Amino acid sequence: MAATESTSERAGQSGEAWRLLDLSDPDPYINMAIEEALMHSVGAGEAPPTLRLWQNQNAVIIGYFQDADVEADLEACRALGTAVVRRVSGGGAVYHDPGNLNYALFLPLGHPQVPDDIMASYRLYCGAVIEALSSLGLAAEFAPINDIVVGGRKVSGTAQARRWGALLHHGTLMLHLDIAMMARVLKVTREHLEKKGVKSVTERVATLEQLGRPLSVAEAKAVLAEGLVRTFGVDLRPGELTPAEHELVRRLYEEKYGRPEWNLRRPADAREGKGHLG
């Protein structure tokens, strides 16, 4: 199934209609602005629940509460043309390149598929990805707090935010990510690796290609969409950004995500330790 094919056309689903956005921008800063814009529109009831599938170019994406210079080797990033972008969700820093497929689920708070309990929500949404991987013959497992592993090696990391009336659950699926490049631009402490019982990043993570299940990006998008349909019983309908969403993306890029003040300097409430994210 192509990711842009309606599930109602494919399998006669009669569940709630959710929007499917197969939408990437070449600019990593705009991609993060899209994430926030979708939270606002879904949270305000101006758009339906939405699944976005997308890719980034060479970029380090840091969590809302993180210090850029602690999580990323900024000198290496400058030399290698790696963008450093702060996202609105918590969690740790990740590396994106075209070998990594990103998925993001946007639901209004109060929706039946939004558990109040944070851990329950991670289990639920990661379960959709695990369902997708099982269709490929991969025995994936949820590894609390927010990872999905196969054979003990991380293949997907996730994060959440609950703001502006919406829940955002987003994550990565490593298809054929350049792990050597990731190791160059991210700063991963020895303490963090020891907690995971490994000595290096290359021991900690694995791509689907390394696990013997290579997928094209188009195949991976279709598999993820199928996993979500089977988990939630919804009808995914291909869509696009509304004019209002386009305008909000433009404004967020100009006023926030395109500015070093946002990307490289921790927000004031993060510095004060005020948590508001899942």
Domains of the chain: 15-262 (3.30.930.10)
CA-based diameter of the chain, in Å? 52
pLDDT in tens, 101-160: 999 999 999 999 999 999 999 999 999 999 999 999 999 999 999 999 999 999 999 999
Interval 218-229 mean pLDDT: 97
Give the residue with greater pLDDT, 265 vs 9: 265
So what's the pLDDT on residue 126? 98
Confidence label for 270 from pLDDT (cuts 50, 70 and 90) = low
From the number of C-beta atoms within 10 Å of its C-beta (0-12, 13-18, 19+), residue 205 rates as buried
Residue 5 has pLDDT above 90, yes or no: no
